[in-house]
Amino acid sequence: MNALTLWFHRLGSPPTFYAFADRWRPWLLWSGLLLALIAAVWGLAFTPADFLQGESYRIIYIHVPAAWMGQFVFVLMAVSGFVALVWRIKVAEIMAIAAAPTGAAFTAIALATGSLWGRPTWGTYWEWDARLTSTLILLFLYFGVIGLYRAIEDHRKAARAAALLSIIGLVNIPIIQYSVYWWNTLHQPSSIQVLEARSSIDPSMLWPLLIMALATKLYFGWAALTRAQTLLLEQESGKDWVRAIVTASAAKQGDMA
């Protein structure tokens, strides 16, 4: 077994995963916040205004990274759910559930910013356009996954049911992706092409956007790991490693008092 697979196997054990999350969380949070600050200041103050949309286009620096994250997190949740269903790894179950609320929040932000931008640009807050509708469905699917997890009492069974639902909900992702090409409705196609050299966005506007996209991923990593840690402590309570962590942190607080 090579080092990477061994590391991956070790990560499946809750105490190792907890320590791993403890190590990475501060880095993820602070680098994420710093990059978000850089991207926001750069995008809002130092990029040129758009030729057609004027200043209102600047919401792209929030809207597009949030929309990307909404879909990215759903795929991640489904992949983690698949791992959980096939190999019955508890940490994978917990990661899938821990990812859901942040993904839902990003989707909600994408919908809200899009609708605020649509008012001056399209002249309407909301239109039953294919991409808007499919993104709204994505939000409902997040709610469905979270709701199903909460509705079943046994944690592991709940996680497996939610994982299966997220895999079923995966059919919505290509629909969101291609909705702007399949249906010729209001939402414009993406102006950013990663693989093809026909991006229609100017490089001076692109860089802050990419930095913000990276920042949202780092922030998501922090949020998901934090939630996963809490879920692990809750579900593994009574195990020795949890007791050790709780006593250690209680002793620390006692020292400070």
Sequence letter at residue 55: E
User: In the bound complex, what is the minimum distance in angstroms from residue 76's beta carbon to another protein?
Assistant: 20
Coil, helix or strand at residue 54: strand
User: In the bound complex, what is the minimum distance in angstroms from residue 144's beta carbon to another protein?
Assistant: 5
Q: Nearest to residue 60, comparing CAs of 134, 109, 113? A: 113
Q: Residue 211 and residue 116: Cα distance in Å, rounded? A: 23
User: In the bound complex, what is the minimum distance in angstroms from residue 51's beta carbon to another protein?
Assistant: 35
Other beta carbons within 10 angstroms of residue 134's beta carbon come to 20
Q: Provide the H-helix boundaries in the chain.
A: 3-11, 14-41, 60-87, 90-121, 130-151, 155-169, 172-182, 203-235, 240-256
User: In the bound complex, what is the minimum distance in angstroms from residue 164's beta carbon to another protein?
Assistant: 6
Is 99 or 176 the residue whose CB approaches another protein more closely?
A: 176
Is 169 or 221 the residue whose CB approaches another protein more closely?
A: 169
User: In the bound complex, what is the minimum distance in angstroms from residue 230's beta carbon to another protein?
Assistant: 24
Token pair 């993406």 in the structure block, residue: 190
Is 146 or 233 the residue whose CB approaches another protein more closely?
A: 146
Is 52 or 171 the residue whose CB approaches another protein more closely?
A: 171
Report how far apart, in Å, the C-alpha atoms of 170 and of each of 3, 87, 208, 249 are: 32, 20, 29, 40
Is 58 or 160 the residue whose CB approaches another protein more closely?
A: 160
User: In the bound complex, what is the minimum distance in angstroms from residue 140's beta carbon to another protein?
Assistant: 4
User: In the bound complex, what is the minimum distance in angstroms from residue 13's beta carbon to another protein?
Assistant: 22
Report how far apart, in Å, the C-alpha atoms of 51 and of each of 54, 58, 115, 201 are: 6, 12, 21, 12
Q: Nearest to residue 69, comparing CAs of 206, 161, 176, 199? A: 176
100-117: b (≥16 Cβ within 10 Å) or e: bbbbbbbbbbbbebbbeb
Is 47 or 179 the residue whose CB approaches another protein more closely?
A: 179
Q: Angle of helix 203-235 relative to helix 60-87, nearest 10 degrees?
A: 40
Residues that bind another protein (CB under 8 A): 85, 133, 137, 140-141, 143-144, 147-148, 151-152, 157, 160-161, 164-165, 167-169, 171-172, 175
Is 58 or 131 the residue whose CB approaches another protein more closely?
A: 131
